A and B are shown apart, each in its own frame.
Chain A
Amino acid sequence: MENKEILLTMRKISKTFPGVKALNNVDFTLRKGEIHALLGENGAGKSTLIKVLTGVESMDGGQVTLEGKPIHVKSSQHAQTLGISTVYQEINLCGNLSVAENIFIGREPMAYGMIDWKMINKRAKELLNNLNVDIDVTKTLDSYPVAIQQMVAIARALDISAKVLILDEPTSSLDAAECKELFTVMRKLCNEGMGIIFVTHFLDQVYEVSDRITVLRNGELVGEYEAKSLPKVELIGKMIGKDYEQLQQIESAKKAHMENKESYLTCKNLTTEGNLKNLDLEVNKGEVLGLAGLLGSGRTETVRALFGADKILGGELSVKNTRIRNNKPITAIRKGMGYCSEDRKSEGIVGELTIRENIILALQAKKGMFRFIGKKEQTKISQQYIKLLDIKTPGCEQQIKNLSGGNQQKVLLARWLATNPELLMLDEPTRGIDVGTKAEIQKIVLELAEKGMSIIFISSEMDEMLRCCERMVVLNDKKKLGELSGNEKNEQVIMEMIAGGKSV
C-alpha cells in the first residue's frame, strides 16, 4: 500500500474568505487506488479544499498536480474534463429535469445528431440498479426524497468514470443498506485504479472503507495517517484538538427522572395526508421520545402531522387536553411546538438572510408580526446560540449560505431552540454535524428535557437515539409497531421488530 503511485497532490493551498481563513497552507496527497478520508470538525475547511480543487472557488495560493503535471482548474467543467468528478455536499442537481437527464446532462449520448433519450433512460436505469435503486427515471428529480436524490448525484459522478472521485458527505441522508451498496461500488472503482476522496462525519464508515486519513482543523493540516494505525479515540482527539471525553460524559448525564408522567400531547387513531395509518401516540412532559424506523417508515410524516404541515384526515389530536382541529404550522408554533425539518436546503435555511435573521425567523412568527423584536435583542439571542452551539462564523451578520454545511444545520437548530418550545420535534438534527458538536447537541437535548421540554427525536443513527431517548416508538410502513422503554430498547430488538413487522 505504501508504494502506491501518487495521483494528485495539493501543496500549500490557502484560501481566505472575508473574515475567515478557510485554508492555510494545506497539503493533501491522493494515491491511485486508495480511498482517502478527509476529516475535520464543521468549518474545518474540507468542502473548501474540494471546491478549490474543482475550480468552484479560486485559491489564493498553492499548487496542484495531477499525475505529476501541474494543473490550474478554472471551472467545474474544466475539472470534469481533467477527470475529476465530484458529488458536492449540498445536492447539486436540477429538480425540474428527469432523473435520467440529471445523470447525463452535459454528456448525453447522441444518435443522428439528436439526443438519444431511449439510451439515456436505459443507461440511467442500469446505473441506478447497480446501486440497488429501482425507480422511474423519467420522472422529475424533485418528485423524489432527498436520499434518492443523493443516490442520483452519486450515480452521475460514478458514471463520469474519472481518475479522481470526490464524495463530500455522500452518506448523510442514506441508510445502512444504501451505504453498503455505495461502499461496494467505491471499492470496485478503487481496484480499477481510481483515487477517491471521501468526506464524512461517520467515523465508523471511515474505518470501514478508507485506507488513509487526512485531518484538518481550523483550516490547517493536522496530519495524514494510515487508517489502520490510528485508533478512533486518537482520531477524534486530532479532529477536535483536545482529549476526547465528552461522549463519556453524555452517557452519565442521562438519567431516569421520569416519575411524574404528565401527558403533553396525545393522538388517537390518527390518519393523515402523509399516509399515516391509525397512529396512537403519547408524548409526556419532559421526555425525549424517539421515533425509530427505516427510510419511509413514517417518522417524518408523524412529526409533520403533529406540526400541521400535513393535513389530518381522521382521528384526534390533543395538546394539553384540548382537542386541536385544523392544525396549521402557525397554530402549532403558537401552541408551543417547534419542528426542525430534515430537508435543510429546501425547507430550512434562507440562504440570502443573515445568521441573525435565520435564527429569529421562528421566534418572530411565534410572537406575531406586530410585536417586532428589536435588533439589539436579536443580536443578543443570536450570539447566545452561536456560542452555545459553537457555530463557526466571523459574526452573526454573515449570510447563512456562506457557512459550512454542518454550521448551517446548527443555525437551524438554534432557530427552534430560540422559540423555547414546549414540544420540540427534531428530524435528523445532527445530520452533517461533527462528533464533538453531536455530543454537545445530545447533551443540550437532555438538559432541555430535564427542564420540562418534550422532545421528539428522529435520527438514522441508532446509537444516538439509544443514548438520548427514554422511550422509543418503532414505526414501519406508516404504522406503529410498538413501543420500547428503559432497558428493553436496544438496536437488535428494534431491528427485529422492524423485520418482523415487515412480513405482516
Chain B
Amino acid sequence: MKKGILSKNFQLFVTIVLFLVLFLAGSLRYRGFFSAQVFLNLFIDNAYLIIIAVGLTFVLISGGIDISVASVVAFVGMLSAYLLQNGWNPYVVMLLMLLIGSTGGFLMGYIIHYFKIQPFIATLAGQFLYRGACFIISTTSIIIDNPVYTTIANYQIKLAPKAYISISVVIALLVVIAGTIMARFSKFGRAVYAVGGNEQSANLMGLPVGRIKVLVYVLSGFCAALGGIVFSFYTLSGYGLQNIGLEMDAIASSVIGGTLLTGGVGSVVGSMFGVLIQGIIQTIIIFQGNLSSWWTKVAVASLLCLFIVLQRIISANRDKFKRKMLNNA
C-alpha cells in the first residue's frame, strides 16, 4: 500500500528533492543565497509562468498540447496596455482579457475536437494569430502607467520584516490550489485523466469526451490570459515580441514535474515545482555572475533528458510490477 503511493508519486517526490538539493547547493556555494527573500523571489519572478503551467498541465494530461500560450501572454500585455492608455477602466480590461483568453481556447478546442485537427496545428495557428494581432495594435512597446496596475505591481505583502511577496504570488498560489483541487476532486478533473489515459474507453464509459477536451483548452486559455495580466503587473508594459518560446518553458516545467506528454499522468503541484526548478537554476546562474543566462537553457535541457529517462525507468518498473501482480493473482 505504502509502496503504491510512493511509486505513484515517485516522480513528484524526485522533483521536490531536486528542488531542495539545488537550493541547498546554491546556499552552500554563494553568500546571501540562503535567505527567505531569494526563495520568495522565485515565486515573484515566476508567478505568471506558474499560472500558465497549471492550465497547460491539464491540456497535457488530456493528451493534447497548447503552444499558443506565450502569444496569449504577449497579446494580453499589448491589448491591456493599449486599452489602458485609452482610458479604459482597469478592472474591465482584466475581465475582458480573461474572456478573450477563454474564448480563444474554446475556439481552438472546438476545432481540435470537432474537426479532428491535431492540437499542435490548431494551437500553432492560434499562436500566429495572437502574435500577429500584437503588431496590428502596435509595433513598439507600450508603457502601462495606470495607477491601479502600478499599485498592484508595487504592493508588497510583508511576511516577515525582511521578506515579502507580491499580489501576483498570491494569485499564482490560489491558481495552484484551485488547480490541484480540480485535478484531484472534481468530476471534470478526473475525466481529463480518463480522456488522456484512453480516449476511446472514456467515450464508451459515457464521459462527455468532446466537452472535456474543449474545456481543457478553455482552461488553458484562461490561465494564459491570467498569466498575461500578472505578467503585465511584472513588466508594466506591453510588447509584441515578449516571451517568445515561453510555451516551451511551461511544457518543460510540466514534464520535469512528472507530466507524461502521452497523457493520463501528471500533477499541478509537480508543474509548479518544475517552474521553481527552472527559476532556481536561473538564480544560481545570476549569483555565479560570470555565466551567460543561456546556461539556464543548457541546464534545463539536461534536466529534461534526465527526467524523460527517469519516466521511462519508472514505467518499465511498473511493467515488472504488473507481471508480479499477475503472478500473485
Contacts and interface: CB of A to CB of B under 8 A. Distances in A.
A58 interface: no
Contact of B190 (A115, A144, A273, A295): A115
B265 A96 contact: yes
Given A106-B206, A114-B181, A92 B197 contact: no
Contacts of A93: 198, 201, 205
B186 A114 contact: yes
B198 to A, nearest CB: 5
A106 B191 contact: yes
Contacts of A105: 190-191, 194, 205, 207
Interface in B1-19: 1, 4, 8
B323 A274 contact: yes
Contacts of A147: 329
A478 B207 contact: no
A97 B204 contact: no
A142 interface: yes
Interface string B196-222: 111011111111100000000000000
B188 to A, nearest CB: 10
B329 to A, nearest CB: 5
A138 B187 CA distance: 17
A142 B264 CA distance: 13
A97 B208 contact: no
B328 A96 contact: no
Contact of B197 (A96, A139, A143, A148): A96
B328 A115 contact: no
Contacts of A263: none
Interface stretch (A63-71, A75-83, A242-250): A75-83
B322 A136 contact: no
B29 interface: no
**What's the interface size class on B, roughly?**
35 or more
A58 B56 CA distance: 34
B204 A296 contact: no
B222 to A, nearest CB: 20
Nearest to B323: A274
A310 B185 contact: no
Contact of B328 (A76, A80, A296): A296
Nearest to A148: B329
Interface string B299-329: 0000000000000000000101111111111
Which of A80, A97, A142 is most buried by chain B, counting CB atoms within 10 A of its CB? A97
A102 B193 CA distance: 11
Given A105-B205, A106-B206, A145 B325 contact: yes
Nearest to B263: A96
Given A93-B201, A96-B265, A138-B4, A144 B181 contact: no
A296 B326 CA distance: 7
A140 B322 CA distance: 10
A76 B205 contact: yes
A108 B186 CA distance: 9
Contacts of A296: 326-329
Contacts of B201: 92-94
B104 to A, nearest CB: 27
A145 B326 CA distance: 6
Main secondary structure, interface of A, reads loop
A77 B187 contact: no
A88 interface: yes
Contacts of A77: 206-208
A101 B190 CA distance: 9
B128 to A, nearest CB: 31
Contacts, number: 106
A80 B197 contact: no
B4 A139 contact: yes
Interface in B165-192: 181, 184-187, 190-191
Interface string A131-156: 00000101110111101100000001
A482 interface: no
A53 to B, nearest CB: 13
Contact of A115 (B1, B186, B204): B186
A79 B327 contact: no
Contact of B323 (A56, A76, A115, A310): A310
A314 interface: no
Nearest to A304: B323
A440 interface: no
A275 B329 CA distance: 12
A110 B206 CA distance: 18
A148 B322 CA distance: 12
B323 A96 contact: no
A483 interface: no
A134 B329 CA distance: 10
A114 B264 CA distance: 20
A301 B327 contact: yes
A101 B187 CA distance: 11
A241 interface: no
Contact of B318 (A94, A102, A143): A143
Contacts of A97: 190, 193-194, 197
Interface string A175-197: 00000000000000000000000
Contacts of A75: 203, 206
Contacts of A139: 4, 325
Contacts of A143: 318, 321-322, 325
A110 B193 CA distance: 18
B204 A94 contact: no
A106 B264 contact: no
Contacts of A106: 187, 191, 205-207
Contact of A275 (B4, B204, B322, B327): B327
Contacts of B186: 114-115
Contacts of A95: 197-198
Contacts of A144: 322, 325-326, 329
A101 B197 CA distance: 13
B307 to A, nearest CB: 18
Contacts of A79: 206
Nearest to A310: B323
Contacts of A76: 203-206
A138 B208 CA distance: 24
Contacts of A274: 323, 327
A296 B318 CA distance: 19
A125 B4 CA distance: 17
B322 A88 contact: no
B1 A96 contact: no
A275 B324 contact: yes
Contact of B329 (A86, A145, A273): A145
A48 B301 CA distance: 49
Contacts of A96: 193, 196-198, 264-265
10 contacts: A76-B203, A77-B208, A79-B206, A93-B201, A94-B202, A97-B197, A105-B191, A115-B187, A139-B4, A296-B326
Interface of A: 56, 75-77, 79-80, 86, 88, 92-97, 101-102, 105-106, 108, 110, 114-115, 117, 136, 138-140, 142-145, 147-148, 156, 273-275, 295-296, 298, 300-301, 310, 478
Interface of B: 1, 4, 8, 181, 184-187, 190-191, 193-194, 196-198, 200-208, 264-265, 318, 320-329
Given A94-B198, A115-B190, 4 more contacts: A76-B205, A94-B197, A97-B197, A144-B329
